[in-house]
Amino acid sequence: MKAWQWQAPEKLRLVELPRPVPKRNEALIRVEAVGVCGSDIHYFLEGAIGENRLTAPTVLGHEYAGIVEELGADADPALLGKRVAVEPGIPCRRCEWCRKGRYNLCTSLFFPGGPGSDGAVCEYIAVDHEFCFPVPGTMSAGTAAMVEPAAVAVHTAELAQLRPGDTAAIFGLGVIGLLTARMLQCCGAARVLAADILPYRVEAARLYGIQEVFCNRKGSIKEGGASAVGWIQEMTERRGVDVAFDCTNSADGLALACAAARRGGRVVLTGISGNEMDPLPVSIARRRELCLQWCRRFVHNYPATLDYIQSGKLDVDSLITHVFSFDEAPDAFALTSAYGDGVLKASIEW
């Protein structure tokens, strides 16, 4: 089968790999769509996310959907021929965290498109059948691949422990930031204030129904990124928001979110900074007695996420700004990494 393999920073090459044979509990998926994620871009550009480093050629991509073409002997026969959204992280089911139901924290989680495991920018992938979620016949493969980032937003909203009437601030208006904003609206947030450094993303947020948005032209606190915090403080009469979210890919998101949170407030960190050691605004966090909550992907969220999308409450389609063919896959990575042409989600479909 054909696959796009990452070989060095900014270099993907089309290669032939053996077509996987499904194990007893696996489904063989003919991949139809893969979304390019911010985490893929860290690998694409730097070959690493923090301490997780690609040391061998690797197929990237974990946001995918496709048709079940073959099944192992123990896999659910009802899946055959179905279009499925695939939950990409496959846990061991045996470690303490798996047994406690927190399988996103599994000590030996298999995750495609990272060190040691090929991802989905290829023709076929074999995956544990229990992590294949059939989607309605009317749902396109591109939409089904969006269940993955949407599930991150659903989990982020859960971790926020929002109460009706709470106010929220979001830094970073990429796909995760926008979906999180929509989820907070679904969960009863009284107000969602949001900021990004890119004017086109601020505009995209308005079109997506987030009315109170701010563009801080420089992200870092030193360079004036605090202007977004000043705006939030002004909008909340210097109280700060109940919950602040970092949905950026930089260390600054954490600092900004802490600065925007109220006393005793909560900060949820969903963005993936590429640094292993991010600076933390310790005196603000301590004086305000902030509760910092990191988010690790999703857990048990796929069915609920599919419901949110199907019911129209969580719009994912308008976030797919660019569609590339399989042959054009490197262009999808290049566009996303350059923040080119108003890109939110670049989807590779074949």
- The contact set with Zn ion (CB under 5 A) reads 37, 63, 91-92, 95, 98, 106
For residue 300 the two structure tokens come to 């048990």
Give the DSSP per-residue string, 106-169. Answer: -TT-B-TTBTTB--SSBSEEEEEGGGEEE--TTS-HHHHHTHHHHHHHHHHHHHHT--TT-EEE
Minimum CB separation of residue 163 from Zn ion in Å reads 28
**Quick one: 37 or 65, whose CB is closer to Zn ion?**
37
Give the 3-state secondary structure of 68-83: EEEECCCCCHHHCCCE
Minimum CB separation of residue 284 from Zn ion in Å reads 30
Minimum CB separation of residue 35 from Zn ion in Å reads 7
Residue of 237, 31, 220, 14 whose CA lies nearest to 125: 31
**Quick one: 49 or 181, whose CB is closer to Zn ion?**
49
Minimum CB separation of residue 131 from Zn ion in Å reads 14
**Quick one: 54 or 229, whose CB is closer to Zn ion?**
54
**Quick one: 106 or 159, whose CB is closer to Zn ion?**
106
Residue of 66, 76, 67 whose CA lies nearest to 24: 76
Q: In angstroms, rounded to a whole number, what is the distance separating the alpha carbons of residues 47 and 283?
A: 34
Close Cβ partners of 205 (under 8 Å, ≥ 6 residues apart): 173, 177, 178, 181, 194, 196, 213
Q: In angstroms, rounded to a whole number, what is the distance separating the alpha carbons of residues 242 and 240?
A: 7
Q: Tell me, what amino acid is at 9?
A: P
Minimum CB separation of residue 10 from Zn ion in Å reads 19
**Quick one: 112 or 225, whose CB is closer to Zn ion?**
112
Q: In angstroms, rounded to a whole number, what is the distance separating the alpha carbons of residues 224 and 241?
A: 20
Minimum CB separation of residue 239 from Zn ion in Å reads 33
**Quick one: 143 or 167, whose CB is closer to Zn ion?**
143
For residue 126 the two structure tokens come to 């074999």
**Quick one: 218 or 296, whose CB is closer to Zn ion?**
296
Minimum CB separation of residue 38 from Zn ion in Å reads 7
Minimum CB separation of residue 4 from Zn ion in Å reads 17
Close Cβ partners of 128 (under 8 Å, ≥ 6 residues apart): 25, 26, 27, 90
**Quick one: 167 or 336, whose CB is closer to Zn ion?**
336
Burial environment of residue 341 by CB neighbours within 10 A (0 to 12, 13 to 18, 19 or more):
exposed
Q: Count CB neighbours of 119 within 10 A.
A: 27
- The residues that bridge with 268 in the sheet, in sequence order, are 245, 293
